[in-house]
């Protein structure tokens, strides 16, 4: 079985949502890739980055969506990404979480194994992410241009298919397996035998044919897509928001220090210092006064 597809109606609705969102934010129908981070900022969603390898018998964590109401009533929205994933998977995870943001899932949504998602909502989020990063009409156009205006690629040999996928991978920054799924979804790949061959490729292995092909096209981009960035932190807007909350007396210095420590940042990086315990200061001043009196005597 090549895929466990959504219904035709569900797929059409997701494609319509992709077109609507791309049109609303003037994204066109071309490659989005890293520019998805600019869209996240435009939506006033804060990015959180944290590397987390799965524990024993634990499903991998891909990403999360979170909204939180602050003391002043302002609602903060967050997308958190596991940076122990490869970079192309991180970009896919962000697109996946945007679906949850736009469908108004709720306050918190944790997404684990996106390669084999459970539940209709996760399947829809995956379908949206793949379509958002590589729209159907764009993929079909690329196939037509390489295939004498025929949609079926079943007659292509393996090397030709791998070269075609590699070009899409590098340009659209969508993970390899997501592109293979997209070929099935637009009706280009219908041969189950070829699907299984493509699906079984170890594309991140340096000795594989696919790896060599992609590296020959653009080594710098392909290395980035295959990098586990292990980034820790948040976007600058979130840190600035934390600092403004402190300056507006909405949070204390200790709470600010604790929040910053989650991203391995300290108060000293922003010209601030830890509060010194007031009782300790009073005691210290008293002892200093007593010492001066003794010396004077």
In a domain, 249, yes or no: no
Cα–Cα distance for residue pair 254/238, rounded to 1 Å: 17
Q: In the predicted model, what is the mean pLDDT of residues 91-95?
A: 96
CA-CA distance, 143 to 106, in Å (whole number)?
Answer: 38
What DSSP string runs through 52-68?
----TT-PPP-EEEEEE
What does the pLDDT read at residue 284?
A: 47
Answer for the pair 45, 78: CB distance below 8 angstroms, yes or no.
Answer: yes
Residue 62 located in a structural domain: yes
Residue 232 covered by a domain: no
Residue 290 has pLDDT above 90, yes or no: no
Q: Is residue 291 part of a domain?
A: no
Give the model's confidence band at 116: pLDDT under 50 very low, under 70 low, under 90 confident, else very high. Answer: low
User: Looking at the predicted structure, is the pLDDT value of residue 294 above 60?
Assistant: no
For residues 134 and 284, give the distance between their C-alpha atoms in angstroms, rounded to a whole number: 65
Lowest mean pLDDT among 71-85, 146-160, 180-194: 71-85
Domain contains 96: yes
101 versus 110: the higher-pLDDT residue is: 101
Residue 288 counted as domain residue? no
Say which residue, 61 or 110, is predicted with more confidence: 61
pLDDT of residue 172: 98
Structural contact between residues 148 and 99, judged by C-beta atoms closer than 8 angstroms: no
Q: Domain of 17?
A: 8-225
| Domain total in the chain | 1
Give the number of other Cβ atoms within 10 Å of residue 213's Cβ. 19
Q: 205 in helix, strand or coil? A: coil
User: How does residue 69 score in pLDDT terms, banded at 50, 70 and 90?
Assistant: low
Q: Give domain status of residue 181, yes or no.
A: yes
pLDDT tens column, 251-262: 788 877 776 776
Q: What is the mean pLDDT of the chain?
A: 85
Average confidence (pLDDT) over 276-283: 46
Q: Does residue 205 have a pLDDT over 50?
A: yes
Q: What is the pLDDT of residue 272?
A: 78
Asked whether residue 241 is domain-assigned, the answer is no
How confident is the model over 38-48, as pLDDT tens digits?
A: 999 999 999 98
Give burial (CB, 10 Å; 0-12/13-18/19+) of 12. exposed
% of the chain with per-residue pLDDT over 90: 57
Query: Given this model, what pLDDT does residue 264 score?
Result: 65
Mean pLDDT, residues 10-17 taken together: 93
């Amino acid at each position: 079985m090549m895929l466990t597809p959504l219904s035709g109606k569900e797929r059409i609705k997701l494609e319509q949502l992709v077109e609507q969102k791309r049109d609303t934010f003037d994204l066109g129908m071309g490659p989005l890739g890293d520019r998805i981070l600019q869209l996240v900022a435009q939506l006033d969603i804060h990015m959180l980055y944290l590397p987390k390898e799965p524990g024993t018998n634990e499903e991998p964590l891909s990403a999360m969506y979170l909204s939180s109401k602050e003391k002043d009533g302002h609602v903060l929205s967050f997308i958190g990404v596991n940076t122990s994933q490869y970079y192309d998977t991180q970009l896919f995870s962000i697109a996946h979480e945007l679906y949850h943001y736009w469908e108004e899932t709720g306050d918190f949504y944790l997404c684990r194994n996106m390669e084999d998602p459970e539940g209709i909502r996760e399947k829809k989020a995956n379908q949206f992410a793949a379509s958002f990063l590589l729209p159907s009409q764009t993929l079909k156009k690329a196939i037509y241009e390489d295939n004498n205006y025929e949609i079926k690629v079943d007659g292509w040999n393996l090397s030709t298919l791998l070269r075609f996928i590699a070009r899409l991978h590098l340009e659209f920054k969508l993970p390899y397996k997501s592109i293979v799924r997209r070929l099935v979804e637009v009706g280009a790949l219908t041969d189950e035998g070829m699907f299984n061959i493509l699906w079984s490729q170890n594309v991140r292995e340096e000795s594989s044919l696919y790896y060599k092909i992609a590296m020959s096209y653009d080594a710098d981009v392909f290395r980035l897509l295959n990098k586990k960035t292990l980034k820790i932190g948040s976007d600058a807007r979130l840190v600035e928001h934390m600092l403004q909350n402190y300056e507006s007396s909405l949070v204390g210095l200790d709470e600010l220090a604790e929040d910053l420590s989650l991203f391995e940042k300290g108060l000293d990086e922003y010209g601030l210092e830890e509060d010194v315990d007031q009782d300790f200061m009073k005691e210290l001043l008293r002892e200093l006064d007593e010492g001066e009196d003794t010396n004077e005597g």
